[in-house]
Amino acid sequence: MTIDSPEKTWSTAKEEIMEATYRALLEHGYADLSISRIADELDKSKAAIYYHYDTKDDLLAAFLEFAVDRFEETIKTETGDEPSEALEHVIEKLLPLRPGEEQRQLQEVLVALRSQAVTNEVFREQFTQIDERLAATIRGIVELGIDEGIFRDVDSSRVAEHILATINGAMYSRATTDREDATAAARVSLSSYINSELRRST
């Protein structure tokens, strides 16, 4: 299965900064994140970070792109050519039913960063690109299923946006409320939607 996405090569130095940023975000969260704390995780000076990124916002925008690149690589390597399984895999990756502690922390970090996009143009642009790339990933899977006769001939863009909106809403609810059953309900609803909207009757 091929998913079109922008090609980007990350240098070793930038990959190390991204990994350090990831660890610092999990440890301190967005509110208490600083270049100093990222440098501590990197075990280098702040100058080593400022050599590549002018501000913390620039670094975090790059981190978001890095995270999506990694996600898309995972999707390419872990999904086969069966569209139904690939779609379920993407949904489980984005909205796991039983997330581990690190997955839960990461989702909370991403929700905190997304909330900044209301007033921060750098983050807004990055999350716009993220959602467009995720929607394109889902759309590509749906279109492959249509071509192979597994899925009904539906509007792939509309279906992709519906699935992504449901995932984003459930992720936001999980990170900002104590409604533990809401995610499971959203997943059941998504399964019902996919069964009724996409899958051909046998």
Q: Is residue 4 part of a domain?
A: no
pLDDT of residue 1: 36
Other residues' Cβ atoms within 10 Å of the Cβ of residue 50: 15
Instruction: Give per-residue pLDDT as tens, 22-39.
Output: 999 989 988 899 999 999
Instruction: Give per-residue pLDDT as tens, 150-202.
Output: 999 999 999 999 999 999 999 999 999 999 899 999 999 999 999 999 987 65
One domain for residues 49 and 66:
no
Phi-psi region of 88 (alpha: psi -120 to 50; beta: other; left: phi over 0): alpha
Q: Is residue 5 part of a domain?
A: no
One domain for residues 29 and 109:
no
Check which CATH number belongs to the domain holding 24 and give it: 1.10.10.60
Cα separation, 62 vs 123, in Å, equals 10
Q: Which residues contact 45 (CB under 8 A, 6 or more apart)?
A: 39
One domain for residues 48 and 72:
no
The predicted model gives 128-149 an average pLDDT of 94
- pTM listed for this prediction: 0.83
pLDDT of residue 199: 85
Q: Is residue 132 part of a domain?
A: yes
- The total of structural domains in the chain comes to 2
One domain for residues 32 and 60:
no
pLDDT of residue 180: 84
Q: Which of 33, 49, 54 is nearest to 113 (CA)?
A: 33
Q: Which residues contact 172 (CB under 8 A, 6 or more apart)?
A: 111, 114
CA atoms within 13 A on the CB side of 102: 3
**Whole domain around residue 66: which residue ranges?**
56-197
Instruction: Give per-residue pLDDT as tens, 62-71.
Output: 999 998 888 8
One domain for residues 137 and 150:
yes
Quick one: tokens of 52? 């590549």
Q: Is residue 106 part of a domain?
A: yes
One domain for residues 66 and 46:
no
Cα separation, 175 vs 90, in Å, equals 19
pLDDT of residue 79: 61
Please name the helix (run of DSSP H) or strand (run of DSSP E) that holds residue 181, with its range, or none.
helix 180-197
Inter-residue contact 52 to 17 (CB < 8 Å): yes
